[in-house]
Amino acid sequence: MRVAKRIENLPPYLFVEITKKIAEKKAKGEDVVSFAIGDPDIPTPSHIIDRLCQAAQDPANHRYPESAGLPELRQAIAGWYEKRFGVTLDPETEVVPVIGAKEGIAHIPLCFIDPGDVALVPDPGYPVYSVGTMLAGGEPYYLPLKAENDFLPDLNNIPEDILKKSKLLWLNYPNMPTGAVADEEFFSKVVEFARKHDVAVCHDSPYTEVAFDGYQPISFMQVEGARDVGIEFHTLSKTYNMTGWRIGMAVGNATMINALKTVKSNMDSGIPQAIQYAAIEALNGPQDCVQEHNDIYQRRRDLVIEMLNSIGIEAKPPKATLYVWAKVPEGYTSAEFATDLLEQVGVVVTPGTGYGKNGEGYVRISLTIPDAGLVKGLSRLAGWRDIKNRFRAKQT
Ligand SMILES: Cc1ncc(COP(=O)(O)O)c(C=O)c1O
């Protein structure tokens, strides 16, 4: 049996490979500490789970949901955007729940990309932006995110022939994997760019609520004109530790939302209703948990940065996201350094090249590791430094 070319040509999903490597080590009886996957270790807050359990008991929630989501959920999403960002959305036309942001991100190219069209995609970036484009028959054109530009893409440096074929522009701030943030000035330039070149903007923003030192990330939707040119994806995954429940949202431009609703209604039958009620509780309920989680991540971030700097690895504390984007030591590629850490001290980090070729020279370290694992992982990193020092001493 032969699978379709569109599948043959796809790279394996990054974390499938990493999970396989970890499983192989574990099968050999080796103990591995993983800083690889950005999946919150802290449980979903109990008031949200209680609502889920209650809703699961109601037979009305055992039936097919509507793919456009419960009106109460769309209302809760609009209410949350109003409270959090001062952005007013029409729950009927400017909001659609998605089965996790990943589902919406994978499907939106089907709405805008025809074979031969181009999507402008940040590099390094979340792999689904380019894979969704390829599955729709289009081609990604990569926009390098460089440290010297604060990991923002240079929109003035895209060739004219590419601009003519470009239908979508992907952006993601606070940024995964670099931890960079964007301000209103940058987003205003994006609106101007999108208008000039007739490109639809998809801003992926799962990390607006994971922020440190009092910093409050903004929404693309806060910027004048954003709604005319684009949509934003957000998710409950990281804000309320709900990665396993699979629920998120797309909001903004009504034409884009309507197109996504059309694709979704033909492909999925919505999010289980009990989960929709849990999401309503999360969005409307007490928000203290968000700061409590951020305090935990901030403490971990500081411990990781301190350890990395102490072993000669350059990394700046991110203002937001669950990740530290660390420079690999001289003489290593990203992959070599990640392999060395795994082989020498049983620590897993994600090579930056897993997010694109401009991720070379970096590794991503996730802060979603329980404290006991974190302490063990950090002491292993110190062990790696000692091994290297002994090796150097032997050579001289
Ligand atoms: C940048 C980015 N976008 C989207 C997602 C997917 O989020 P969800 O769990 O809502 O599918 C992730 C998950 O790690 C992410 O890092």
- pLDDT for 348 equals 93
Q: Is the CB of 172 under 6 A from ligand 1?
A: yes
pLDDT digits (tens, 9 = 90+) for 71-126: 999 999 999 999 999 999 999 999 999 999 999 999 999 999 999 999 999 999 99
Centroid of ligand 1 to alpha carbon of 353 (angstroms): 18
**Residue among 70, 53, 165, 71 nearest 120 (CA):** 165
Q: Which H or E run contains 252?
A: strand 248-252
In this prediction, what percent of the chain has a pLDDT beyond 70?
97
Partners of 203 in the β-ladder: 171, 232
Centroid of ligand 1 to alpha carbon of 98 (angstroms): 12
Q: Is the CB of 204 under 6 A from ligand 1?
A: yes
Mean pLDDT score, 179-195:
98
Q: Is the CB of 201 under 6 A from ligand 1?
A: no
List of residues 6+ apart from 164 with CB closer than 8 A = none
Centroid of ligand 1 to alpha carbon of 7 (angstroms): 22
pLDDT digits (tens, 9 = 90+) for 231-254: 999 999 999 999 999 999 999 999
- pLDDT for 20 equals 80
d(CA 130, CA 91): 29
- pLDDT for 11 equals 74
- pLDDT for 106 equals 98
Whether the per-residue pLDDT at 270 is higher than 70: the answer is yes
Mean pLDDT score, 165-189:
98
Q: Is the CB of 95 under 6 A from ligand 1?
A: no
Whether the per-residue pLDDT at 165 is higher than 70: the answer is yes
Centroid of ligand 1 to alpha carbon of 367 (angstroms): 15
- pLDDT for 351 equals 94
β-strand pairing of 200-204 with 139-144: unpaired
Q: Is the CB of 102 under 6 A from ligand 1?
A: yes
CA 126 to ligand 1: nearest atom: 1
pLDDT class of 316 with cuts at 50, 70, 90: very high
d(CA 144, CA 152): 8
Q: Is 280 in contact with 236 (CB distance < 8 Å)?
A: no
Whether the per-residue pLDDT at 14 is higher than 70: the answer is no
Whether the per-residue pLDDT at 396 is higher than 70: the answer is no
d(CA 96, CA 78): 10
d(CA 190, CA 196): 10
**Residue among 78, 113, 87, 90 nearest 200 (CA):** 113
Q: Is the CB of 38 under 6 A from ligand 1?
A: yes
Whether the per-residue pLDDT at 185 is higher than 80: the answer is yes
Whether the per-residue pLDDT at 265 is higher than 70: the answer is yes
Q: Is 6 in contact with 134 (CB distance < 8 Å)?
A: yes
Centroid of ligand 1 to alpha carbon of 174 (angstroms): 12
Cβ atoms within 10 Å of 75's Cβ, excluding its own = 18
Whether the per-residue pLDDT at 285 is higher than 90: the answer is yes
Q: Is 35 in contact with 337 (CB distance < 8 Å)?
A: no
CA 125 to ligand 1: nearest atom: 1
Q: Is the CB of 243 under 6 A from ligand 1?
A: yes
Whether the per-residue pLDDT at 395 is higher than 80: the answer is no
List of residues 6+ apart from 125 with CB closer than 8 A = 145, 170, 172, 176, 355, 356
d(CA 5, CA 141): 20
**Residue among 182, 180, 247, 175 nearest 207 (CA):** 175
Tell me the H-state helices in 88-141: 101-112, 128-135
Whether the per-residue pLDDT at 181 is higher than 70: the answer is yes
CA 102 to ligand 1: nearest atom: 11
Q: Is the CB of 377 under 6 A from ligand 1?
A: no
pLDDT digits (tens, 9 = 90+) for 25-76: 888 888 999 998 889 999 999 999 999 999 999 999 999 998 899 999 999 9
Whether the per-residue pLDDT at 365 is higher than 70: the answer is yes
Whether the per-residue pLDDT at 16 is higher than 80: the answer is no
Mean pLDDT score, 202-229:
98
385: tokens are 């430094």
- pLDDT for 371 equals 87
